[in-house]
Chain A
Amino acid sequence: MTTITLDVPAGRPFGLLRHSLALGKRSLIKTLRTPEQLLDVTLQPVIFILVFVYLLGGAIAGSTHAYLQFLLPAITVQTLMFASMATGTNLNSDVKKGVFDRFRSLPISRAAPLVGAVFGDLIRFVVSITVSFGFGLIMGFRFQTNPVEVIGAILLMLFFAFSLSWIFVLVGVLVREPGAVQGIGFVTLFPLTFGTNMMVKTDTLPSWLQAWVKINPVTDVMASVRALTLGDGPIAGPVTHTLLVSAGILVVFAPLAVRAYRRRA
């Protein structure tokens, strides 16, 4: 008795990119259909800006306006980093659904559902940056550089957040509950985002904390965005650092996440 050999239909090239875009579109449709999902990236920057600027602005910078100029670029980076966590939590609850079984049974790369989720979540980053800058502008924040540099700052932040979300994709694939992704996320993001010169100048900090702030890569990201939006400080150094760190995170964590997903399946 023999087994029949069936003809396999041929695929088309550039599968990973096309499949990831199709799955990214799926995430995007889901987000747009439940816009309350975007509440975190909408409310958090507004609340943080209000609290920090009015509570601390006078004491730290002498005036709320001066402090807003100093704080806003950095707080935009911070909100963005918290937004990248959501990719992990969303994916964690998504992977358990039957529809992911179907994706696994399709002739697509195992990376595609993950890349798709990250692509789809780029909308969160765009919303997050828009709200943060938009609300800042309403409160009196002013860009001090030309539009090209501002756009550069935005693209740089998007690339950084895109890379960072792969860490949370890995966590999202590994842990059992979405809550665990958040727990791990907060524990790592608090020292990374607050342990910077986001709120005060580095030289006002105790020396051990200065040491951390100086090696913390997020400090470079914030310095890049400040330089590109306010024109203070050097651009090349921090931007190069940010690009290298982002690329490094991407190269390490994206393959790890795909491997973990493949094992789970």
Chain B
Amino acid sequence: MTYAFQAEGLVKRFGATTALAGIDLAARAGTVLGVLGPNGAGKTTAVRILATLLRADEGRATVGGYDVVRDAAKVRRLIGLTGQYASVDEDLTGQQNLELIGSLLDLRRKDSRSRAKELLEQFGLAEAGGRAAKTYSGGMRRRLDLAASLVGRPSVIYLDEPTTGLDPVKREDVWNMVRSLLDSGVTVLLTTQYLDEADALADEISVIDHGSVIAHGTPAELKHKVGGQTIVVRPSDPGRLDEVDRLLRETTGHETESSGRGVLTAPADDDRVFTTLVRRLDEAGIGVIELSLRLPSLDEVFFTLTGAPVPHQNAHDSLEMAV
């Protein structure tokens, strides 16, 4: 197995706060590593170390075989960084933003102009390319930011919470863009607070909490570990809710819960539960207007892995943002 980047035993302290307590992260070339954790878990700190913006107190990290401290200049030629807060220049147009990055990456003027055009088109910003970025919507800024991190055709891309604060449609947009990146063979480090995002994009997931990895695996392994997918059923005829309730109890072997008017949910810890339920509903001639398998939320994952609810440490959050 060959890793595109690898971090071993990273420790980072800010005063009395330990942001990273000896973390290991690695991704095979051409894959997506999802780093899942709540605010203040150390995700951004880890990304900043791998992006040469911050030095670890202990441990080492390499990107593309180059040490992030000793060969920082080489590492910077390999990476693209998209921060948590869209880091584009508000006063510059989309085109100017991308051309600036191009000239800083030593592209020739003609190449940086055409690369900017190409990226604006790819990210649906061709028409807005001549307008100052401050006139862009939140989603457009994220796209421009993502485009800016791709100007130099990096081999390793860090996406630090690329969808935080975006509405569901825009999130889907960003997801599709990330998927299209993968076709070009890049390696991606994606940090996120959403299990569904990691599940949708990552090949492997490291769950981190308080600066340590508390679980690692493929999305399937992780889901298996935390169990607790939930079946959600909403029959089209609310009058048949009782029948659905009985079917759901029989197939899952669990008590059902009603999470809203006309909706029933039950835990599904067997791979075949869902298909069995579909068949039984069909046999009974019950139509549904909603039928889904819901992944556990981050809160539920954490509860299962740590036995404690997601920590809410506001002081820690603001520290991480300030650094």
Contact = CB atoms under 8 A, between A and B. Distances in A.
B77 interface: yes
A18 B73 CA distance: 17
B85 to A, nearest CB: 5
B155 A6 contact: yes
Nearest to A2: B2
B206 to A, nearest CB: 16
B106 A12 contact: yes
A22 interface: yes
Given A8-B64, A26-B92, A99-B88, A105 B81 contact: yes
A51 B152 CA distance: 54
B92 A98 contact: no
Interface in A172-189: none
Main secondary structure of the interface of B (DSSP, over half): mixed
Interface residues of A, number: 35
Given A3-B2, A4-B4, A11-B106, A107 B77 contact: yes
B87 A101 contact: yes
Among the interface residues A18, A99, A112, which one has the most CB atoms of the partner chain B within 10 A?
A: A99
B77 A8 contact: yes
Interface residues of B, number: 43
B91 A29 contact: yes
Pick from B65, B81, B91, B104 the residue with the most CB of A within 10 Å.
Answer: B104
A100 B62 CA distance: 23
B76 interface: yes
A11 B76 CA distance: 11
Interface stretch (B95-103, B176-184, B289-297): B95-103
A247 to B, nearest CB: 29
Contacts of B89: 26, 30, 97, 99
Interface of A: 1-6, 8-9, 11-12, 15, 18-19, 22-23, 25-26, 29-30, 33-34, 97-108, 112, 265
23 contacts: A2-B2, A5-B64, A6-B78, A6-B155, A8-B74, A12-B106, A15-B106, A19-B103, A26-B89, A29-B91, A29-B92, A30-B89, A97-B87, A101-B83, A101-B87, A102-B81, A102-B87, A102-B149, A104-B52, A105-B53, A107-B73, A107-B77, A107-B106
